Chains A and B, each alone.
Chain A
Amino acid sequence: MKFKTLFGAALLASTMLVAGAANAKSLVYCSEGSPENFSPSMNTTGTSLDAARPVYNTLVQFTPGTTQVEPGLAESYEVSDGGKTITFHLRKGVKFHSGVNGFTPTRDLNADDVIWSFGRQWKPDHPFAKVSGGSYDYFNDMGMPDLLASIEKGADDLTVVMKLNKPNAPILANLAMDFATIQSAEYADYLMKKGTPEQFDQIPVGTGAFSFVAYQKDAVIRYKANADYWGGKPKVDDLVYAITPDATARYAKLQANECQVMGYPNPADLAAMKANADVQVLEQAGLNIGYLAMNAQKPPFDKVEVRKAIAMAIDRDAILKEVYQGAGQKAKNPIPPTMWSYDDSTVDYEYNPDKAKEMLKAAGVEKLDTDLWWMPVQRPYNPNAKRMAEMMQADLAKVGINATLVSYEWGEYRKRLQAGEHQMGLLGWTGDNGDPDNFLAVLLGCDKDGKPNAQNIPKWCDAKFNEDITKAAEITDPAERTKLYQDAQKIHHDQAPWLNIAHSTVFEPIRKEVTGYKVSPLGKHEFQNVDVAE
């Protein structure tokens, strides 16, 4: 009798388990590589940021599929003191993941976690500042150390007051970036006491839609749905990143339903993907720009007529067809069309080699020997810089310009371009936070003394342009900022410090059964709203 009861119970339990397993919904994302670690504050690669994103949240966040900033862990915020103070009101009852790495939180999210998270990146004496190598590139790149005056607890545990040294409108967009993730101060203490602080960056505990389960280098990352998620429980129970470095293999897995979403398809496979009834190919203009910079500090490129003539001598339609193979859009402004303040009234330079020749003659340039630099790597905004440079070289020859092609190892290439060794050089940019400041000020801005920023590759400074973008960064009124950025784009067009080449298109193939997936213009892969039809 006893045996029968036991047997019956075991049978029932196993049936329930099997039924549970059968009902559990899984989503497999074929990702392209292994993360460096799971702390977004320390990483700059999309692969690493994607791997940590399911686990974490930021104070404010980008609405999926857009660059609009919306409330995140802070349910509201106020800007005061002429833009120099931001007060965040945190959501009540936000839970950190429980049971990961033996950690059970004893309290909900509060201001201490926010102060701790920024403090680690900001203060060298923070107990975790040096843990795991302690390099906080994004925090520094976005100019946070210069901007922040203080971050303190406000009137209660759920209020955080951030004081700035000067008004800065783009900071809210910065705070939606992954580096501004809020981590658990209590988990950090727990690990410090345990003597394993480095696990903080390897076994993540956050407030996100999914909690971390396991990671095997070069093979798989597993997460499970966070039932207590403040944004509502995700629609899938298990999220799996199947690390699949080869793009063709990723597509083969998608076809075999071994994964349902894949990143970074091989452009050569796109036609077949679009023809496959099981697959839908989502696409969106990428938040990027590929350009040809002309060094305005080196003659004859200091003359605006010469720069304009070159803009008209190059056949960009042919480049789009040949180099981007249709996966790009001709650029007429330095910022992409999906970004707010984009000036659609700009009339692009036409391809007209005869006119270009005349303009060069008028500028006193009839025969010119110059260089044309191409980067040795494939980038999102430029799939084949060498081929592009060769096509440009042929176009320039038609107007009497003899361009010698130059390239260096990637790190060296960028360093020499930044030092201004080039006359003409190819480069580009992928946006970080969807704010025009992140393109116009970073790539074309100059300091007070008229010295170009390091990343100003055309080495071009225009007083009016600089005034516009500086002012736009300091005010918060969106309409006013838009006007200033549009004016800056007009100046850029008239001065042509660089030739806008293209904004490449981002493609993301997903299985037909997948719903709710949105392509992020920022290149993020997010799964909290994704469902898989049975």
Chain B
Amino acid sequence: MIRFLLKRLALTLPTFFALMFVTFVMIRLVPGDPIEVRRGERGISPERLEQLRHEMGLDQPIWKQFVDYVWAILHGDFGTSIVSKTPILHEFATLFPATLELTFCAMIFAIVLGIPAGVIAASRRGGVYDQSLMGLALTGYSMPIFWWGLILILVMSNTLHLTPVSGRVDLIKFYYEPVTNFMLIDSLLSGQKGAFWDALHHLILPTIVLGTVPLAVIARMTRSAMLEVLEEDYVRTAKAKGLSTYRIIGVHALRNALIPVVTVIGLQIGGLLAGAVLTETIFSWPGVGKWLVESIGRRDYPALQGGIMLISTVVIMVNLIVDLLYGLINPRIRHAK
């Protein structure tokens, strides 16, 4: 197991380096300079531009900038944002918990509803349940996120008054200093009555919106994996032995069907961590997705490079955990030479 882990970790190193290089080069290929892009109609004199570029080290040859950057990263220095002049690690640490909290809730939502939906659809193959559940999954999968979010706000918040429109907590009723930047935890730590429920309330709509696509994907994947497994010999044997349907599906079939589903979940988490931009924008969620998109617009090189590196680290770690989970679910992988 440890050898397996070390092997997987070693494989991530080239990925990191390639990512670092690609991010660094790509952002510099985008036309527009971080200084000029902030100047709008006003413009800047060539002398002042040169001076500012020099101060930021942008007048150095690209290879030199890259070597300096790698050197700094190896020393744990991700640089300082050109826009806010705040260390990237600090900005990331403030914003990432919000993204993580939302991603976590969205994944729980997708898994808790998606796997049972897939199992039900597979066990009633071709029936009404199957048709309608898969129809819903296809609709969910094709739903434009922005539209879906706005529709939910209009119906749930503005018409039915069931949920707040956006934000993470009621700004008037509750005020406490963030400790962990996870709102659910901070609201509990604050000791303010009702804060936790309010924070939970604020999570409902963004969770549904962000969780819809993964929910659809997981449901469809579970269904097809289940269908495959249900035709295996051992399931037929189990049936012949007279086991109950519940036991056949719940104990024997599902565990084997879960392997491809876990892969999909892993991939979805990676996508959600960096791809929650639209959800974060609609619900004013202070996460890293929106921060990265704004950094592209502002050509904030350090924020973009640092942000992508840090998110990649998390995504690679998640994939590593997923790989380890395979081993737990399927011993054949663990013991494979």
- A252 engages B52 (CB within 8 Å): no
Given that A222-B175, A411-B39 are known contacts, is A255 also in contact with B168, CB under 8 Å in the complex? no
Contact of A279 with B by CB under 8 A: no
Write 19 A-B pairs (CB below 8 A) sorted by A numbering. Answer: A44-B39, A198-B85, A214-B177, A216-B178, A217-B94, A218-B286, A240-B171, A249-B150, A249-B283, A249-B284, A253-B165, A256-B157, A256-B165, A258-B165, A411-B31, A411-B33, A414-B36, A454-B43, A455-B42
The 4 closest A-B pairs by CB, nearest first: A218-B286, A411-B36, A409-B31, A219-B286
Contact of B32 with A by CB under 8 A: yes
List, in ascending order, chain B residues with CB within 8 A of A28's CB.
171-172
Report the nearest B residue to A42, measured CB to CB.
Answer: B85
- A411 engages B37 (CB within 8 Å): yes
- A252 engages B39 (CB within 8 Å): no
List, in ascending order, chain B residues with CB within 8 A of A246's CB.
281-282, 284
- A242 engages B171 (CB within 8 Å): yes
Report the nearest B residue to A238, measured CB to CB.
Answer: B172
Shortest C-beta distance, B171 to chain A (Å), equals 5
- A140 engages B48 (CB within 8 Å): yes
- B282 engages A249 (CB within 8 Å): yes
Contact of A151 with B by CB under 8 A: no
- B153 engages A249 (CB within 8 Å): yes
- A256 engages B286 (CB within 8 Å): no
Given that A28-B172, A132-B85, A217-B95 are known contacts, is A412 also in contact with B45, CB under 8 Å in the complex? no
Contact of A428 with B by CB under 8 A: yes
- B43 engages A414 (CB within 8 Å): yes
B274-332 with Cβ < 8 A to chain A: 281-284, 286-287, 290-291, 294
- A427 engages B166 (CB within 8 Å): no
A412 in complex: contacting residue of B32, B48, B91, B294, CB < 8 Å: B32
Contact of A451 with B by CB under 8 A: no
- A44 engages B157 (CB within 8 Å): no
- B284 engages A256 (CB within 8 Å): no
- B157 engages A243 (CB within 8 Å): no
Q: Kindly state the separation between the CA atoms of A255 and B156 in the bound complex, as whole angstroms.
A: 13
Report the nearest B residue to A381, measured CB to CB.
Answer: B41
Q: Kindly state the separation between the CA atoms of A410 and B43 in the bound complex, as whole angstroms.
A: 11
Q: Kindly state the separation between the CA atoms of A253 and B164 in the bound complex, as whole angstroms.
A: 8
Contact of A384 with B by CB under 8 A: no
Contact of A482 with B by CB under 8 A: no
- A418 engages B43 (CB within 8 Å): yes
Q: Kindly state the separation between the CA atoms of A219 and B186 in the bound complex, as whole angstroms.
A: 15
Given that A132-B85, A256-B157 are known contacts, is A44 also in contact with B38, CB under 8 Å in the complex? yes
List, in ascending order, chain A residues with CB within 8 A of B86's CB.
202
A384-420 CB contact bits vs B (8 Å, 1 = yes)? 0000000000000000000000001111101100100
Given that A249-B165, A411-B33, A455-B43 are known contacts, is A218 also in contact with B291, CB under 8 Å in the complex? yes
Contact of A181 with B by CB under 8 A: no
Shortest C-beta distance, A32 to chain B (Å), equals 10
- B40 engages A216 (CB within 8 Å): no
List, in ascending order, chain B residues with CB within 8 A of A132's CB.
85
Q: Kindly state the separation between the CA atoms of A59 and B283 in the bound complex, as whole angstroms.
A: 39
Contact of A20 with B by CB under 8 A: no
Given that A249-B153, A415-B36 are known contacts, is A256 also in contact with B41, CB under 8 Å in the complex? no
Q: Kindly state the separation between the CA atoms of A36 and B55 in the bound complex, as whole angstroms.
A: 19
A20-45 CB contact bits vs B (8 Å, 1 = yes)? 00000010100001101100000011
Q: Kindly state the separation between the CA atoms of A411 and B36 in the bound complex, as whole angstroms.
A: 6
Given that A253-B166, A412-B32 are known contacts, is A219 also in contact with B48, CB under 8 Å in the complex? no
B152-196 CB contact bits vs A (8 Å, 1 = yes)? 011001100100111110011001011000000000000000000
List, in ascending order, chain A residues with CB within 8 A of B283's CB.
249
Q: Kindly state the separation between the CA atoms of A258 and B165 in the bound complex, as whole angstroms.
A: 8
A141-169 CB contact bits vs B (8 Å, 1 = yes)? 10000000000000000000000000000
List, in ascending order, chain B residues with CB within 8 A of A218's CB.
95, 284, 286-287, 290-291
- A217 engages B286 (CB within 8 Å): yes
Chain A, interface size category, equals 35 or more
Contact of B267 with A by CB under 8 A: no
Shortest C-beta distance, A220 to chain B (Å), equals 6
B284 in complex: contacting residue of A36, A245, A412, A428, CB < 8 Å: A245
B78-124 with Cβ < 8 A to chain A: 83-86, 91, 94-95, 98
- B157 engages A252 (CB within 8 Å): yes
List, in ascending order, chain B residues with CB within 8 A of A253's CB.
165-166
List, in ascending order, chain B residues with CB within 8 A of A243's CB.
284, 286
Contact of A352 with B by CB under 8 A: no
- B85 engages A244 (CB within 8 Å): no
Q: Kindly state the separation between the CA atoms of A37 and B84 in the bound complex, as whole angstroms.
A: 6
Further contacts, 11 of them, CB under 8 A, given A44-B40, A217-B84, A238-B172: A33-B294, A216-B178, A217-B94, A218-B284, A219-B286, A240-B172, A242-B284, A245-B281, A249-B153, A418-B43, A454-B43
- B31 engages A242 (CB within 8 Å): no
Shortest C-beta distance, A1 to chain B (Å), equals 29
- A36 engages B83 (CB within 8 Å): yes
List, in ascending order, chain A residues with CB within 8 A of B52's CB.
135
- A415 engages B158 (CB within 8 Å): no
List, in ascending order, chain A residues with CB within 8 A of B158's CB.
252, 255-256
- A37 engages B85 (CB within 8 Å): yes
A236-280 CB contact bits vs B (8 Å, 1 = yes)? 001010111110110011011010000000000000000000000
Given that A133-B85, A248-B150, A252-B153 are known contacts, is A429 also in contact with B165, CB under 8 Å in the complex? no
Q: Kindly state the separation between the CA atoms of A414 and B94 in the bound complex, as whole angstroms.
A: 35
Report the nearest B residue to A430, measured CB to CB.
Answer: B41
Report the nearest B residue to A254, measured CB to CB.
Answer: B165
Shortest C-beta distance, A128 to chain B (Å), equals 13
List, in ascending order, chain B residues with CB within 8 A of A219's CB.
98, 167-168, 284, 286
Q: Kindly state the separation between the CA atoms of A45 and B84 in the bound complex, as whole angstroms.
A: 12
Q: Kindly state the separation between the CA atoms of A133 and B302 in the bound complex, as whole angstroms.
A: 14
Q: Kindly state the separation between the CA atoms of A10 and B178 in the bound complex, as whole angstroms.
A: 27
List, in ascending order, chain B residues with CB within 8 A of A245's CB.
281, 284, 290
Report the nearest B residue to A240, measured CB to CB.
Answer: B171
List, in ascending order, chain A residues with CB within 8 A of B161's CB.
256
Q: Kindly state the separation between the CA atoms of A246 and B206 in the bound complex, as whole angstroms.
A: 14
Shortest C-beta distance, B173 to chain A (Å), equals 9
Q: Kindly state the separation between the CA atoms of A471 and B158 in the bound complex, as whole angstroms.
A: 57
List, in ascending order, chain A residues with CB within 8 A of B95's CB.
217-218
List, in ascending order, chain B residues with CB within 8 A of A198's CB.
85
Chain A CB within 10 Å, residue with most, of B37, B281, B283, B286: B286
- B172 engages A252 (CB within 8 Å): no
List, in ascending order, chain A residues with CB within 8 A of B166's CB.
244, 249, 252-253, 258
Report the nearest B residue to A33, measured CB to CB.
Answer: B294
Q: Kindly state the separation between the CA atoms of A19 and B83 in the bound complex, as whole angstroms.
A: 42
